[in-house]
């Protein structure tokens, strides 16, 4: 088999982590060729650190790669993503897939027409706590997610729903395997002009209810995900990557501490999955369609919040 040549566009915070991960993948069939970033200093630093090429343009990177990881800011995802796919290269796009549903639909359709892999970086799917329970979740009745973070200017090109809540939207859709029939939400712009804190309640056709809370204006950091179904309760800490399950035992009600395999970091599992999906010519674990579905729900939540905020403003004036 030919070597799979892979490159990264955008080597800021997350792109530089992808660069470290790619440099650690010890596979003779994979060749980390290089990086491109509009910030030349940053690009040179990363290229030097991992001993790969710093390309003078995205086109130059595309000429020498078969697959690209795209970690530019979300506002650039579509413009850069479509250029990658048009050049006939496989694409791992960071989350959220794009800013708008129309853009995401175009990326998904372009990848499909060209027979390319399009994966989206919903990294929590590779969290050991999620991997430990995914086969045990049969019919979730209730899901509760709490994701709160310190304020950080990175990510504020989009609101907290597309920045943070999108992770829990993706997990909820993954576990329910359904689209919600009703959505209600509240939110507020606290520190930026976009919504910084939000809560959404989703109801699904088979009866599952999910409540998701996301904030980027907190003084502590939490990522909790809880699920209950008829026979079990799962409490997962996605930050410390552990959790427990409560279910009825033969003689007592006992908590089972879930057996996590934390030997490989989620970002590495994600990048390896992207590579494997290309090598094995199969769908990746998180497809472009998954990214599109999560974005569509994020947009519906945003719409509900906008309606409420507009009503409040109307009442104030
Ligand atoms: N999966 C996760 O948990 C997670 C975590 C953080 C960020 N992200 C996502 O990763 C993406 C990047 O976020 P970040 O925090 O690394 O941002 P960042 O600002 O640290 O890095 C972005 C980099 O892209 C470069 N860039 C901007 N426009 C470009 C263009 N047109 N071509 C080439 N380079 C360009 C910038 O110079 C910068 O170095 C965002 O979409 C964000 O949502 C995902």
Strand segments, DSSP code E, in 55-196 are: 67-70, 90-94, 118-121, 142-148, 182-188
- Mean pLDDT in residue range 93-122: 98
- Stated as kind and residue range, the H or E segment containing 301 is helix 288-316
Ligand 1 binding pocket (C-beta < 6 A) is: 9-15, 36-39, 42, 71-74, 76, 80, 94-95, 121, 123, 154-155
Q: Does residue 71 sit in the same domain as residue 131?
A: no
- Mean pLDDT in residue range 305-316: 90
Q: Which residue has the tokens 């799917």?
A: 125
Q: Does residue 175 sit in the same domain as residue 240?
A: yes
- Summary mean pLDDT of the chain: 94
In-domain check, residue 317? no
Q: Does residue 61 sit in the same domain as residue 134?
A: no
In-domain check, residue 316? no
> Which of 8, 73, 127 has the most ligand 1 atoms within 8 A of CB, as the residue to mutate?
73
For strands 90-94 and 118-121, give the pairing. Answer: parallel
Residue nearest to atom 19 of ligand 1 (CA): 12
Q: Does residue 103 sit in the same domain as residue 189?
A: no
Q: Does residue 161 sit in the same domain as residue 304?
A: yes
In-domain check, residue 139? yes
- Mean pLDDT in residue range 5-29: 96
pLDDT tens digit sequence for 61-91: 999 999 999 999 999 999 999 999 999 999 9
Q: Does residue 233 sit in the same domain as residue 114?
A: no
Q: Report how far ligand 1's centroid is from the alpha carbon of 155 (Å).
A: 8
Residue nearest to atom 28 of ligand 1 (CA): 72
Q: How confident is the model at residue 2 (pLDDT cuts 50, 70, 90)?
A: confident
pLDDT tens digit sequence for 138-168: 999 999 999 999 998 887 889 999 999 999 9
Q: How confident is the model at residue 249 (pLDDT cuts 50, 70, 90)?
A: low
- pLDDT, residue 285, reads 97
In-domain check, residue 293? no
What are the C-alpha distances in Å from 203 to residues 34, 92, 122, 223, 272? Answer: 45, 30, 22, 22, 34
Q: Does residue 168 sit in the same domain as residue 306?
A: yes
In-domain check, residue 275? yes
CB 98 within 8 A of CB 84: no
Residue 142, SS3? strand
Q: What is the DSSP letter of 190?
A: S
Q: Report how far ligand 1's centroid is from the alpha carbon of 154 (Å).
A: 8
Q: Does residue 207 sit in the same domain as residue 76?
A: no
Q: Does residue 175 sit in the same domain as residue 305?
A: yes
Instruction: Quote the tokens at residue 243.
Output: 């959790």
Q: Does residue 131 sit in the same domain as residue 106?
A: no
Q: Report how far ligand 1's centroid is from the alpha carbon of 18 (Å).
A: 11
List the domain range (segments joined by +) for residue 279. Answer: 4-122+267-285
Q: Does residue 134 sit in the same domain as residue 259?
A: yes
Of 245 and 146, the one with more pLDDT:
146
In-domain check, residue 216? yes
Q: Identify the CATH number of the domain in which residue 41 sits.
A: 3.40.50.720
CB 32 within 8 A of CB 6: yes
In-domain check, residue 138? yes
Residues 6+ apart with CB under 8 A from 220: 148, 150
pLDDT tens digit sequence for 185-222: 999 999 999 999 999 999 999 999 999 999 999 999 99
Count of domains in the chain? 2
Instruction: Indicate whether 26 pLDDT > 80.
Output: yes
Q: Does residue 100 sit in the same domain as residue 172?
A: no
In-domain check, residue 315? no
Q: Identify the CATH number of the domain in which residue 305 sits.
A: 3.30.360.10
């Amino acid at each position: 088999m030919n070597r799979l040549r892979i490159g990264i566009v955008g080597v800021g915070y997350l792109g530089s982590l992808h660069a470290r991960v790619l440099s650690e993948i010890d596979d003779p069939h994979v060749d980390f060729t290089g990086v491109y970033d509009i910030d030349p200093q940053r690009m040179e630093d990363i290229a030097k650190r991992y001993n790969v090429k710093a390309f003078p343009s995205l086109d130059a990177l595309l000429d020498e790669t078969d697959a690209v990881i795209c970690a530019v800011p979300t506002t650039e995802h579509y413009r850069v993503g479509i250029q990658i796919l048009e050049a006939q290269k496989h694409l791992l796009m960071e989350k959220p897939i794009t800013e708008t549903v129309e853009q995401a639909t175009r990326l998904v359709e372009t990848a499909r027409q060209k027979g390319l892999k399009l994966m989206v970086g919903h990294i929590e799917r590779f969290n050991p706590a999620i991997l430990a329970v995914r086969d045990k979740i049969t019919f979730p009745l209730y899901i509760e997610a709490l994701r709160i973070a310190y304020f950080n200017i990175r990510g504020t090109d989009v609101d907290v729903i597309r920045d943070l809540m999108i992770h829990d939207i993706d997990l909820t859709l993954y576990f329910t395997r359904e689209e919600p029939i009703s959505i209600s939400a509240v939110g507020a712009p606290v520190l930026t002009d976009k919504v910084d804190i939000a809560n959404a309640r989703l109801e699904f056709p088979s009866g599952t209810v999910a409540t998701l809370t996301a904030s980027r204006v907190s003084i502590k950091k939490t990522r909790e995900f809880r699920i209950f179904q008829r026979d079990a309760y799962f409490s997962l800490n996605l930050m410390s990557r552990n959790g427990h399950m409560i279910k009825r035992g033969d003689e007592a009600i006992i908590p089972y501490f879930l057996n996590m395999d934390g030997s490989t970091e989620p970002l590495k599992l994600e990048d390896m999955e992207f590579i494997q999906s290309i090598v094995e010519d199969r769908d990746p674990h998180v497809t472009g369609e998954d990214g599109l579905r999560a974005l569509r729900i994020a947009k519906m939540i945003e719409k509900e919040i906008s309606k409420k905020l507009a009503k409040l403003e109307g009442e104030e004036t």
